[in-house]
Amino acid sequence: MAPAPPGQRRLCHSFEVALRRGAASSIRRLEFDAFRERARAMQNLVTVFGGSGFIGSQAVRQLARAGWRIRVAVRQPNLAYAMRLHGDVGQIDIVQANIRNEASVARALEGATASVNLVGVGREAGRQGFQAIHALGARTVAEQARAAGVTRVVQMSALGADPASPSKYARTKAEGELAVREIYPDAVVFRPSIVFGQDDDFFNRFAGMATVLPALPLFGGGTTRFQPVFVGDVGKAIALAVTSDEAAGQTYELGGPATYTFRQLMELILAETGRRRLLLPLPNAAADLLGAAGDLVQGFIQPPITSDQAKLLRVDNVCSGAYPGLEALGITPTALESVLPSYLYSYRKGGQYADQDARAPGRDALAERRQPHQAHHPDGDPPPGEGREAVAADEVHHLAHGDHRGDQGADEAQGNDAGVVGAEQLVVAREVDGEGPGHGRHGEEERELGRRALVAAHQQGAGHRRARP
């Protein structure tokens, strides 16, 4: 095993001296031995640009679990202090870096073994434009990584990235991919569909619109298809790509276990929030006009949609099948229905304690959303993965819809995505022999295990939930 870096040797030495000066018990000695082993395991350093963001926080969390030392490079380090709580003491560091500034990028990459670029913008604002961030910024990170001797580069792109796309967002994402691959042919590129989770932009945005508008617009007539992917699964994929030799040079399309039309997603949001709203198909001309209005005000407020986003919503956003996905990395995609209740409850009229009976129509709508997937299996029950989706969606509603949020109080105190932890507990409790509850010989035991996990998670996060407005 390679010797520990000087900084880690000094830290271990200081710890040992402190123990010798005091009346170090055998328990303290064991604690020190464990600390020393963790320090030896954390010899590799990965720099994560945009590591405090929606996807970045999950990637950092998974990398910390894998034993990496992590340098989180962000524009405003003072806003990312909670990221240190995702790992052991000293495992995660926060540094200032702006991918539009080569010098700051070079400093952030000093001594790094791997680089992960997750910086992206959904709309242009000042100097944070698509070209500057997605294309030129990606090239800057790759160039400085090569100069620093980085051996593995991971680049976050987007499903639908295309140099010929009418959307500037998609075009610049494709340009960023090409720039990185010119410098690092073995770079790993991820193209996710809509990413959902507690702090996502898509579902939270439209759920918020449903609380104030009498109707929700159906861009593209509501027929555009999407394949939402869970942010926790994306974080796991990034962590695996950093270390996997098989991932080198690969492009991964990341999507969830099911596809939905835009109309179905809006109906799902309304079902989860317990609201009745008119779904209004919006012609392309009207969508362009609404987007143009959003362009005018985006410098002052966050608009509901921009002209570029209106173009994106007309194009299907599903995996093509030409590239490997989550399954190639050994990750089972998480169902959308099993996670949405963990954070959309805040948009219900009664909050997380809304009456279950009043939301019965919402449960029926969820069941309808699953019917198209069951139709592909006329000879019998759906396969285990889809069966798990159905059971997860049902238990989310029947086992106290606030409970499966898991260690929400503890994880939010640590800067973690509580919805991610709750959903992981829900899925892990059901994955025995790769089957959902009720489908295998351990069906009843799995269901009971799931209930116990949910109850335990509820007890851990109850204090925090009572404090939420």
SS3 288: helix
C-alpha pair distances (Å), 30 with each of 1, 9, 34, 66, 90 = 21, 18, 6, 22, 19
Say yes or no: 300 and 252 in one domain. no
pLDDT digits (tens, 9 = 90+) for 391-407: 444 443 443 333 333 33
Q: List the CATH number of the domain containing 39.
A: 3.40.50.720
Clarify whether residues 376 and 245 are in a common domain.
no
Rounded to whole angstroms, how far apart are CA atoms 383 and 100?
A: 47
Statement to judge: residues 245 and 287 lie in one domain: no
Q: Are residues 278 and 386 in the same domain?
A: yes
Task: Give 189-221 pLDDT, tens digit per residue.
Answer: 999 999 999 999 999 999 999 999 999 999 988
Token representation of residue 312: 């994106």
Q: Would residue 332 count as lying in a domain?
A: yes
Whether 28 and 49 share a structural domain: yes
Residue 297 CB coordination number (10 Å) = 12
d(CA 233, CA 243): 16
Residues 147 and 18 both lie in one domain: yes
Total structural domains in the chain?
2
Query: Backbone dihedral region of 20: left (phi > 0), alpha (psi from -120 to 50 degrees) or beta?
Result: alpha
Is the same domain home to 392 and 243? Answer: no
Using alpha carbons, select from 46, 45, 36, 50 the residue that is nearest to residue 8. Answer: 36
Quick check: helix, strand or coil at residue 92?
Answer: strand
For 422, list phi and psi in degrees, rounded to 5. Answer: -60, -45
Q: Which comes out higher in pLDDT, residue 301 or 92?
A: 92
155 & 42 share domain: yes
> Same structural domain for residues 93 and 180?
yes
For the chain, how many helices (H) and strands (E)? 18, 13
State the Cα–Cα distance between residues 291 and 6, nearest whole angstrom: 54
Q: Is 294 domain-assigned?
A: yes
Q: What is the average pLDDT across 270-290? A: 92
Q: Based on the fold, state whether residues 233 and 274 are members of the same structural domain.
A: no
User: Same domain for 166 and 310?
Assistant: no
More confident residue, 350 or 305: 305
CA angle 317, 160, 48 (to 5 degrees): 105
Ramachandran angles phi, psi of 273, nearest 5°: -95, -5
Query: pTM to 2 decimals?
Result: 0.70
> Quick one: 365 and 429 in the same domain?
yes
How many angstroms separate the first and last alpha carbons of the chain?
51
**pLDDT for res 233:** 97
Q: Can you point out the beta strands (E) in 135-239?
A: 152-156, 188-192, 195-196, 215-219, 225-226, 229-230
Q: What's the domain range around 104?
A: 6-197+228-256
Alpha helices in 375-416 (DSSP H): 384-398, 408-413
Tell me the pLDDT tens digit for each residue of 132-181.
Answer: 999 999 999 999 999 999 999 999 999 999 999 999 999 999 999 999 99
